[in-house]
Chains A and B, each alone.
Chain A
Amino acid sequence: MQTITQSNPQMDIQLFADAFKKKGKLLYRWNRRAIHKLAREISPAYRDFVNRLLSNNKLLIDRYSGGECRPIEYGEIYSLKKRCKNKIKVDFSDPRTFAHELGHSVDFLFGEFNSFSGNIVIYDGKTLNDIFQEEFNNHHKELYEFLMDEYRLNIDANIHKGAYNIFINNMPKYLTLCDTEEPKLRKKLQKELYECGFVEVYYQINTRKCFKVLEQKYIPIMDALSSVYDITGLYLVGHDLEYYMRYSARAAQEFFANVFADKILGNHTRYDNLIKLMPRSFDAFEKLFFMIYERIQNNKRFTDLPIKDTYLDEEVYQDNPEEEEEC
């Protein structure tokens, strides 16, 4: 049975700030208030764990308007001996992005090739990636329909009945409008979109933030769905399809980072939904997380963890391996 260590919260916040001071005095001085606020946002149960992660010299942190985690070293393949350098660039005023990027850095603790989500065997010779792919590939249609039904209810209730249908049916036209530069075609599309009521619906969705409820509930699932469905323009959180097409294990990596962020920030509503909708993946994540947690808290080595050897034979980077992991 794993145990969660708890200590004095004020002390943890101070340690968190000290860890940032070590990363750079100017970085701390310029972002002092945001860093203290960030420390308070992190769940008290995991503050000590986060402090230990931050105080490691292999993790570099910098300020950035968005969020990205970039592995600087790639390490030896199939080896969990030497930790590799990762650089997080993140906006400190957004705790979720910080926790998400920290999740990526934990996943790539021994390099991106040795990511925990893709290489560590959890049970039956399967990694988190295998379990996630298995479960997600079988259920993604149902998940998409479930989410979209909720989105439909939300939009129809907030704007008017039938608004969702107008929104979805005219989305291809809107995307072509965004892509084209030809004035005549643009005028025509703009006129059509105004006449069918899409302009008003899109404006209302934008101003009333109908998508915020879904964000609160299902970020990990929405991000996973964006690996299969093109949801650009729907205001739903996720990465581009291109981002996932380069490397199939990215979906599992993003899943790990998203659930890690929720775990660290103590967001239980997303947790409940994950348990309902993706129970096996969530269970696998929990096991993997506590493997990492136990070793970091007790200063143990990771060499005893079972690695799946055949993983990298199947999946090879198609593009430059120095890809950015954006939030």
Chain B
Amino acid sequence: MNYQLFINQQVKDYKGETGYVVAFDNDHIVIQQGGEQITYNPDIAFKNKALVFLDDKYNDLVNGDMKDRDNTSIVYQQKIDKINKEAIKRNKMASDKYIELEKKDKALKRLFGYDFVYPPFELLKKKFPHAKRKKNEFEMIIEHICSPTLKPKPPKDKNQNVQS
């Protein structure tokens, strides 16, 4: 939208006092009322009708622009939501596949020896390195036990304590 068109146009505020536009951009509209300048957020001010142009032509322009922006933001949000959903779905599918193939891999290792490599599982591991099943309680406990925070601290030097 060409904001220069609105400069010096007369505006009426919510109190009924008139003024004229001094500056206008995407986020601010500055209005000269008497001796002072008041800044508004154009989106909020025009939506709540706290500011109205005396000439309806400019009101239509502003409203049209706001509608377009709303529409584009909705479409954009929808696109993002769709992408997120797809990503979640893909991740879920990958982790489901991971669980399935891991189970199969274990069974095949039992049948064909523990050195057997099941190619689809290896491929999946490479393709989706983050797609892993949830850890069960037992694994979590072991991880917790083996974590560095729980490792015994090295004994303090007795000499150091004496000196201090």
Number of interface residues of B (CB under 8 A): 11
Chain A CB within 8 A of B35 CB: no
Q: How many A-B residue pairs have CB under 8 A?
A: 27
Chain A residue numbers with a CB within 8 Å of B104 are 203
Alpha-carbon distance between A202 and B118 when the two chains are bound, in angstroms: 14
Residue of A nearest to B113 (CB): A186
Which of A144-152, A187-195, A283-291 contacts the other chain?
Answer: A187-195
Chain A CB within 8 A of B140 CB: no
Residue of A nearest to B104 (CB): A203
Main secondary structure of the interface of B (DSSP, over half): helix
Decide: B112 and A190 in contact? CB cutoff 8 A.
yes
CB distance from A212 to the nearest CB of B (A): 17
Chain A CB within 8 A of B107 CB: yes
A183-207 contact mask (Cβ, 8 Å, vs B): 1 or 0: 1001100100110000100110011
Decide: A194 and B107 in contact? CB cutoff 8 A.
no
Residues 169-186 of A at the B interface (beta carbon under 8 Å) = 174, 177-178, 183, 186
A58-88 contact mask (Cβ, 8 Å, vs B): 1 or 0: 0000000000000000000000000000000
Main secondary structure of the interface of A (DSSP, over half): helix
Residues 78-116 of B at the A interface (beta carbon under 8 Å) = 104, 107-108, 111-113, 115-116
Alpha-carbon distance between A207 and B112 when the two chains are bound, in angstroms: 15
Decide: A207 and B111 in contact? CB cutoff 8 A.
no
Q: Are A177 and B107 also in contact (CB < 8 A) when A190-B117, A194-B119 are? A: no
Classify chain A: how many residues form its interface, as a range.
10 to 19
CB distance from B52 to the nearest CB of A (A): 74
Alpha-carbon distance between A186 and B108 when the two chains are bound, in angstroms: 14
Chain A residue numbers with a CB within 8 Å of B108 are 199, 203
Alpha-carbon distance between A207 and B117 when the two chains are bound, in angstroms: 19
Decide: A206 and B107 in contact? CB cutoff 8 A.
yes
Residues 214-231 of A at the B interface (beta carbon under 8 Å) = none
Most buried by A among B108, B115, B117: B108
What 9 A-B pairs come out closest when comparing CB atoms? A190-B116, A190-B112, A203-B108, A186-B115, A202-B111, A203-B107, A199-B108, A186-B113, A206-B111
